[in-house]
Amino acid sequence: MARKKQFKAESKRLLEMMINSIYTQKEIFLRELISNASDAIDKLYYKALTDENLQFDQDSYYIKVTPNKETRTLTITDTGIGMTKEDLENNLGVIAKSGSLAFKNENEIKDGHDIIGQFGVGFYSAFMVADVVTVVSKAYGNDEAYKWESTGAEGYTIEQVEKDSVGTEITLTIKENTEDENYDEFVEQYRLQSIIKKYSDFIRYPIKMDVTGQRPKEGSEDNELEEYTEEQTINSMVPIWRKNKSELTTEDYENFYQEKHYGFDKPLKHIHISVDGMVRYNAILYIPENIPFDYYSKEFEKGLELYSNGVLIMDKCSDLLPDYFSFVKGMVDSEDLSLNISREMLQHDRQLKMIAKNIKSKIKSQLQSLLKEEREKYEKFYESFGRQLKFSLYNDFGANKEELKDLVMFYSSTEKKLVTLEEYVSRMKEDQKYIYYATGESHQRIERLPQTEMVAEKGFEILYFTEDIDEFAIKILREYQEKEFKSVSSGDLGIEEDNESTETEQEENKELFEEMKKILSGKVKDVRISKRLRNHPVCIATEGEVSIEMEKILKAMPDSQDVQADKILEINSNHEVFKSLKDAFANDKEKLSLYTNLLFNQALLIEGLPIQDPVEFTNDMCKIMV
């Protein structure tokens, strides 16, 4: 009979703590046991490098997972280095002692980054799902095999047993279901397959399992099915990100995107990064083509998958992506992360910060090259995520504007397509001071705005802002390559044009404008002669920070304050209507009031602003007809 030994005192408490608190998910016990098995095979591999008697033949090394519903057990077998009696005592009998860490030190393996173990606690996670854990192991170079068995905090027993081959076999007697916990899943084939896929897909040795399925019976006429069982390798083993870029095709990357469920679309672009500098890491990132359905909702979580040495640590590591690139999908694998004891979190994030910084600049340069070299793709991308970029430009008081200003695009009046600010500035005319823009609901609507007439006639390009964020984003940016932005509706357009004659005309009609201002009191700040109109009789210009478009947006917000743009009614002095106004001013004040109100309301309508009193407006219309 094997003698029962106690865990070391401190170990006992630690074990209880472990089982109950350090892991957030029970399913990771399998990740831990498979990692240990993989470490054990690695150790044989390192031995083979120096031991002439040992040949490392890749094919005979594997891990096998065997669930058994009848006995309610789960067995994990490996063909690794195995454990001696002492190893069992020292490594499994003392919690927080890592044989793997010691192995790395003893064998002076500096680059043994493939060995995952280091904390000496992973093994005990088995007790989260098992009442009894039985380890049968035969160490390389030894003739005897030993069995270690434990029911948890009670302690463990060790006794000699028979085992033919070198390696370790760990059997978990899975707990009975309780009221709030279901343990059945840990003997379910499908569930186990998916846990292996999730955490251990890129373990470098095959993880095998006997898989039972159904297939049409051969020679059967009425589609009869038969059950069959075959041994399958569950993991993909070689992580695609460790492969050489030149070996991989676009299709390989697309398949990985689909397999990983990063999205239902085809990615627009993949970015494969291998860095071997201060921090080593591999990453495969994707710029998706379509917006995820929840992208602009609160539910959306940004982040990249984080692997440590091929083992999944975190599903969505948000620290790896800046908010403005939250659309990027993909994964990062690094050997250099300092993980905490549960391997679910990062201990301190210096390495992570460096990786994140590196990734950020890679994404940006990829977007820029997409813009330069694959314009059509960039436009597709921009259709999906341009709004995000513009919002990000505006957010945090423009903290990221330098990062983003070259990535935004707007529709151009002259090019009739999306253009970048750089392209706009490169086309600016010699006498052009500003980057002009006009805001409105749609391109068609903006095109017909009276305010664009003069700027367009000068041959200046105008950017059309149709999204509510556009003007806010540009206000934060203020200028691009030292060129300021100017709304075509703003007071001073910076176009020198016949200023003197306008001034005198303004002076001559001073009293008329004063009178009109009175009629429109509270509605406009001023009435004046327009420098920008060609064919239209009137338009509304604004002064100050708030434009008409901004007034509309701010008013539509839930807790809207009464923000008003400072409006100026501009009159085209070359228009027939101006003569009528002068006439009315001289002869018929009532008519002047009628005309003034009508013209102001007209200007509002063209701007897409509501008129205060539609009934009065239609009555006024009738008055001039009869």
Nearer to Mg ion, 34 or 271 (CB): 34
Q: Report the b/e string of 291-321 with b at 16+ CB within 10 A.
A: bbeebeeeeeebbbbbbbbbbbbbeebeebb
Which window, 121-129, 252-260, 318-326, 529-537, contacts ligand ADP (CB under 6 A)? 121-129
Q: Which residue is nearest to ligand ADP (CB)?
A: 99
Q: Does 99 bind Mg ion (CB under 5 A)?
A: no
Strands 526-529 vs 566-571: parallel, antiparallel or unpaired = parallel
Q: Which of 73, 168, 309, 388 binds ligand ADP (CB under 6 A)?
A: 168
Nearer to ligand ADP, 28 or 240 (CB): 28
Comparing CA positions, the residue from 555, 532, 546 lying closest to residue 603 is 532
Shortest reach from residue 560's CB to Mg ion, in Å? 58
Amino acid at 414: T
How far is it between the farthest Cα atoms of the chain?
123
| Interaction partner, residue 91 (Mg ion, ligand ADP, none; CB < 5-8 Å by kind) | ligand ADP
Nearer to ligand ADP, 21 or 521 (CB): 21
Shortest reach from residue 304's CB to ligand ADP, in Å? 25
Q: Which of 11, 14, 31, 78 binds ligand ADP (CB under 6 A)?
A: 78
2 neighbors 157 (Cβ within 8 angstroms): yes
The partner residues of 569 in beta bridges, in order of sequence, read 527, 540
Q: Which residue is nearest to Mg ion (CB)?
A: 122
Q: Does 310 bind ligand ADP (CB under 6 A)?
A: no
Shortest reach from residue 24's CB to ligand ADP, in Å? 18
What string of H, E and C letters represents the secondary structure of 534-579?
A: CCCCEEEEEECCCCHHHHHHHHHCCCCCCCCCEEEEEECCCCHHHH
| Interaction partner, residue 308 (Mg ion, ligand ADP, none; CB < 5-8 Å by kind) | none
Residues in 3-22 that interact with Mg ion by CB under 5 A: none
The partner residues of 359 in beta bridges, in order of sequence, read none
Q: Does 171 bind ligand ADP (CB under 6 A)?
A: no
Type and span of the H or E element at 500: helix 499-508
Query: Residue count at the site for Mg ion (CB under 5 A)?
Result: 3
Q: Does 117 bind Mg ion (CB under 5 A)?
A: yes
Nearer to ligand ADP, 169 or 607 (CB): 169
| Interaction partner, residue 37 (ligand ADP, Mg ion, none; CB < 5-8 Å by kind) | ligand ADP
- Tokens linked to 604: 């509002």
Residues in 3-42 that interact with ligand ADP by CB under 6 A: 32, 36-37, 40
Shortest reach from residue 122's CB to Mg ion, in Å? 3
Q: Which of 73, 91, 489, 601 binds ligand ADP (CB under 6 A)?
A: 91
Nearer to ligand ADP, 100 or 432 (CB): 100
Dihedral sign for Cα 82, 88, 90, 95, please: positive
Q: Does 314 bind ligand ADP (CB under 6 A)?
A: no
Nearer to ligand ADP, 200 or 420 (CB): 200
Q: Which of 122, 206, 267, 310 binds ligand ADP (CB under 6 A)?
A: 122
Q: Which of 11, 73, 79, 98 binds ligand ADP (CB under 6 A)?
A: 98
Shortest reach from residue 56's CB to ligand ADP, in Å? 16
Residues in 13-72 that interact with Mg ion by CB under 5 A: 36
Nearer to ligand ADP, 119 or 146 (CB): 119
Nearer to ligand ADP, 21 or 178 (CB): 21
Nearer to ligand ADP, 164 or 247 (CB): 164
Shortest reach from residue 435's CB to ligand ADP, in Å? 59
- Tokens linked to 251: 């299709």
Comparing CA positions, the residue from 623, 573, 563, 576 lying closest to residue 597 is 623
Dihedral sign for Cα 78, 81, 84, 87, please: negative
Q: Does 100 bind ligand ADP (CB under 6 A)?
A: yes
Nearer to Mg ion, 329 or 343 (CB): 343
| Interaction partner, residue 112 (ligand ADP, Mg ion, none; CB < 5-8 Å by kind) | none
603 neighbors 539 (Cβ within 8 angstroms): yes
How far apart (Å, rounded) are the C-alpha atoms in residues 563 and 110?
Answer: 66
Shortest reach from residue 200's CB to ligand ADP, in Å? 14
Q: Which of 67, 80, 93, 122 binds Mg ion (CB under 5 A)?
A: 122
| Interaction partner, residue 40 (Mg ion, ligand ADP, none; CB < 5-8 Å by kind) | ligand ADP
Shortest reach from residue 114's CB to ligand ADP, in Å? 13
Strands 329-334 vs 304-308: parallel, antiparallel or unpaired = parallel
Residues in 235-294 that interact with ligand ADP by CB under 6 A: none
Which window, 115-123, 230-238, 488-496, 518-526, contacts ligand ADP (CB under 6 A)? 115-123
Q: Does 46 bind ligand ADP (CB under 6 A)?
A: no
Q: Does 200 bind Mg ion (CB under 5 A)?
A: no
Which window, 73-81, 215-223, 304-312, 320-328, contacts ligand ADP (CB under 6 A)? 73-81
Shortest reach from residue 472's CB to Mg ion, in Å? 52
Beta-sheet strand order (sheet of 280-287): 269-276, 280-287, 329-334, 304-308, 311-317
| Interaction partner, residue 450 (ligand ADP, Mg ion, none; CB < 5-8 Å by kind) | none
SS3 626: coil
> Where do runs of H (alpha helix) occur along 326-374?
350-373
129: left (phi over 0), alpha (psi -120 to 50) or beta: alpha
How far apart (Å, rounded) are the C-alpha atoms in residues 267 and 538?
Answer: 49
Nearer to ligand ADP, 99 or 330 (CB): 99
How far apart (Å, rounded) are the C-alpha atoms in residues 614 and 605?
Answer: 11
491 neighbors 566 (Cβ within 8 angstroms): no
Comparing CA positions, the residue from 291, 283, 304, 299 lying closest to residue 263 is 291
Nearer to ligand ADP, 86 or 484 (CB): 86
How far apart (Å, rounded) are the C-alpha atoms in residues 535 and 456?
Answer: 13
* E-state strands within 162-255: 167-174, 207-216, 225-233
Beta-sheet strand order (sheet of 538-543): 526-529, 566-571, 538-543
The partner residues of 233 in beta bridges, in order of sequence, read 208
List residues near ligand ADP by CB under 6 A: 32, 36-37, 40, 78, 80-81, 83, 91-92, 98-101, 117-123, 168
List residues near Mg ion by CB under 5 A: 36, 117, 122
